[in-house]
Amino acid sequence: MAEIRLEHVSKRWGSFVGVNDFDLTIADREFLVLLGPSGCGKTTTMRMIAGLEDATEGNIVIGDRVVNDLDPKDRDVAMVFQSYGLYPNMNVYENIRFPLKVRKVDPASHDERVMRAAEMVELTEFLHRKPAELSGGQRQRVALARAIVREPTVFLMDEPLSNLDAKLRVSTRAQIKNLQHELKVTTIYVTHDQIEAMTLADRVVVMNKGVVQQVGTPTEIYDNPANTFVAGFIGSPAMNLMEGEVTQGTFRGRNVEIAGIEAPDGPVTLGFRAEDATLAEGGAGQITAPIYTLELLGDATMISVRAGGALVAVKAHKEFRAEIGDTVSIAIPPGICHVFDTQSGARLDISSGARVA
């Protein structure tokens, strides 16, 4: 049983608050991703779970034990870092085996456990090599195998893919997801990459400035962001956000007017996703403006225009061709729109205007 409970956990250094009142239960075998920009508190949260940082307030419970006063070695967690942390003088076999020697595991079981871990990450043919002879992706797989061989209660992964190139990130991401499924170990994964979060997580915790902004499945967070921070952080591209004012059901901003918005009169921030809007024929859309930029993505063409005081993106079909400066019209049905309070950033219920907690 490896349920983890963070009970109103905070971390402060003097007057600086790194993490504020983090309160969450992570289910046994769950893959939880802590997501947010640099400095948001996600790595600090992980380090408190690992025992590398002391919590200023609150309890950290792993299984049925409060672990606040336990040393890292006694918490039964295995960490995989952004820097691989391999011993350059040891070959791959010895690097993977090292945690077993340190923990004084029965030497008779070492070979079987090392080979099993190496096989899981497809390293069996590299066991005799030193880290300097490996690629970045192979070194990261050694670090994964070293964590696996421990057979820990919890995996903690701190931006393990950041040093890999784009192609390796995709393949290693798939490997991590498959490993977690096979091993059935509770995993907490830190990243600033929202694509990693959306593809790996059972649930995502979005953080900003030490505060949890939203917790939910990737689908919940993508479809119903709790506030403008989450809306502007999740998605590639992020949600289009435009400031304006609603009057009698019509949103008006700079170069944009959308009827049928069921929100209370007053200033709001309106959002919609690029893939939910379409190009309209003959200037029939709610935004008509010259093209600011074009990006060919392979499966689609991304078009950006300036409207509502912001850059607004829409996805067109991959065969669409135009030039920068050509005028396009974007159709934005009111049903695809999200409405947020301009001052607080909190999401409004589009049907009633009530804030969503």
Same domain, 293 and 146: no
CA atoms of 25 and 197, how far apart (whole Å): 18
Q: Is residue 39 situated within a structural domain?
A: yes
- Predicted confidence (pLDDT) per residue in 100-129, tens digit: 988 888 899 999 999 989 988 888 999 999
Residue 296 forms part of a structural domain: yes
Is the pLDDT confidence value at 311 over 50? yes
Domain assignment of residue 39, given as a range: 4-223
Across the range 165-176, mean pLDDT stands at 83
Average pLDDT, the chain: 91
> Residue 221: phi, psi to the nearest 5?
-70, -35
Q: pLDDT tens-digit profile of 138-157?
A: 888 898 888 888 888 999 99
* Angle at CA of residue 245, ends 243 and 250, nearest 5°: 120
Same domain, 337 and 273: yes
Report the DSSP pairing between strands 203-208 and 31-35. Answer: parallel
- What does pTM read for this prediction? 0.88
Lowest mean pLDDT among 124-128, 149-153, 165-169, 206-210: 165-169
Number of folded domains that form the chain: 2
Mean pLDDT of 289-308: 91
CA distance 10 to 75: 19
The verdict on 96 and 206 lying in the same domain is yes
Mean pLDDT of 303-308: 89
Question: Is the pLDDT assigned to residue 6 strictly greater than 80?
Answer: yes
Kindly state whether residues 99 and 176 are assigned to the same domain: yes
Q: Given a cut of 80, is residue 283 above it in pLDDT?
A: no
192 and 263 together in one domain: no
Q: Are residues 57 and 180 in the same domain?
A: yes
Same domain, 215 and 252: no
The residues that bridge with 295 in the sheet, in sequence order, are 302
pLDDT at residue 355, as a whole number = 40
In tens, the pLDDT along 265-274 reads 999 999 999 9
Of 189, 223, 257, which closes a domain? 223
The single-letter code of the amino acid at 68 is: N
User: Residue 320: inside a domain, yes or no?
Assistant: yes
Based on the domain organization, do 299 and 193 belong to the same domain?
no
Average the pLDDT over 281-287 and give the result. 83
